Amino acid sequence: MIMVLLEVKNLSTHFFLKESRVRAVDDVCFTIAQGKTLGVAGESGCGKTTTALSIMRMLPPAGKIVNGEIFLDGVDLLKKSKEEMRQAKWKELSYVFQYAMNAFNPVMTVGEQIAEVIIEKENSKSKSVKKEAWKKVKESFEIVGLDPDRIKNYPHEFSGGMKQRAIIAMAMACDPKLLIADEPVTALDVIVEKKILKLLKEIQSNYNLGIMFITHDLSVIAESCDDVAIMYAGKMVEVGDASTVFHKGAHPYTRMLIRSFPSILGECKRIEPISGIPPDLANPPPGCRFHPRCPLASKECREDIPPFESFSSSRHHVACFHAGETIL
């Protein structure tokens, strides 16, 4: 039986600027099952990171969640107080930030920074808590394949791949239920990337961890994710299991996005870029937001918002009036 760990319902997050309102996330719905990985993909600026920051309630001052519910293990995170949410971070859900390799304080050892998280969450600075924290740091290093003797090294003494492992160790230090990884392998070479992806899979298997994996790289999602969510201009346009989305994708944007990436399998052929640019989310087009770039766009697409509904199965949802139609 599949146990739902995270359920996001009708989430809308807007940025309130001096002269405009940017609808960065608009009526987004998805779930993440316990022990499973959801890969979230889409062009830059489509709302992937804003969705993740909304779940963590770590939006910048201009950002505000204007609608929706976010349930983690059945508890609505949006109803937690600031203090309750502060306590939940790292313990119940944790975040590996984009460009996390540059996130360490250069004048503190890596171990000190991880121990600081553990001590803060225990809300005590007693000697026994500090001793247990350092023990946990060593255990975290072992989990991610780092030598525990390196806990007193400074960030500049770590390679890029080692820093990424250390960031994951920090995220796992308080045994969270959900890990949000925002572009965790983007700055790594392909050899280290493969090792990090393997590491995340091992951690997930050992701790029954739910993972939200944000990336531009569809090949990473195909290799490491159970389910896929495709975002465009602040909206979820297609969500389903990885095999269905990659082999039977129904939304025109999904299929065009897949076509725009080179494949190392099969015949070599020219990739097909998606013409046009994403819309201005301060003034999005009426109807379907993809219609200005869509070869299947009709009058209905230009006037009405397509519902996000099941397509080929109860796990496969698409928001498109022409879902499954052939693109010439």
Per-residue pLDDT of the chain (328 residues; tens, 9 = 90+): 678 999 999 999 999 998 899 999 999 999 999 999 999 999 999 999 999 999 999 999 999 999 999 999 999 999 999 999 998 998 899 999 877 667 889 999 999 999 998 888 776 667 888 889 999 999 999 988 899 999 999 999 998 888 888 999 999 888 899 999 998 887 778 888 888 889 899 999 999 999 999 998 888 898 899 999 999 999 999 999 999 999 999 999 999 998 888 766 666 777 788 889 999 999 999 999 999 999 999 999 999 999 999 998 888 999 999 999 988 6
Question: How does DSSP assign 123-169, residue by residue?
Answer: T---HHHHHHHHHHHHHHHHHTT--GGGGGS-GGGS-HHHHHHHHHH
Q: Are 147 and 166 in contact (CB under 8 A)?
A: no
CA distances from 57 to 83, 209, 269, 275 (A): 12, 20, 43, 34
Question: How does DSSP assign 233-285, residue by residue?
Answer: TTEEEEEEEHHHHHHH--SHHHHHHHHTS--SSSS-----PPPS-PPPTTSPP
CA distances from 186 to 165, 213, 220 (A): 14, 12, 10
CATH 3.40.50.300 fits 4-92+176-318, yes or no: yes
306, 208, 293: which is closest to 253 by C-alpha? 293
- How is the chain split into domains, by residue range? 4-92+176-318, 105-175
pTM metric for this prediction? 0.91
Q: How far apart are CA 214 and CA 200, in angstroms?
A: 13
CA distances from 14 to 6, 21, 40, 101 (A): 21, 6, 19, 28
Element (H, E) at 40: strand 37-41
Backbone torsions φ then ψ of 121, nearest 5 degrees = -75, -25
Side-chain half-sphere of 165: how many Cα atoms within 13 Å?
27
**Four-CA torsion 229, 55, 187, 266, nearest 10 degrees:** -10
| Cβ neighbours, 10 Å, residue 64 | 13
User: Tokens 């009058």 appear where?
Assistant: 299
- Interhelix angle 160-172/190-207, rounded to 10 degrees, is 20
pLDDT (0 to 100) of residue 242: 94
Q: Chain centroid to CA 144: how far? A: 20
pLDDT (0 to 100) of residue 255: 93
pLDDT (0 to 100) of residue 124: 65
Backbone torsions φ then ψ of 189, nearest 5 degrees = -75, 165
Side-chain half-sphere of 57: how many Cα atoms within 13 Å?
21
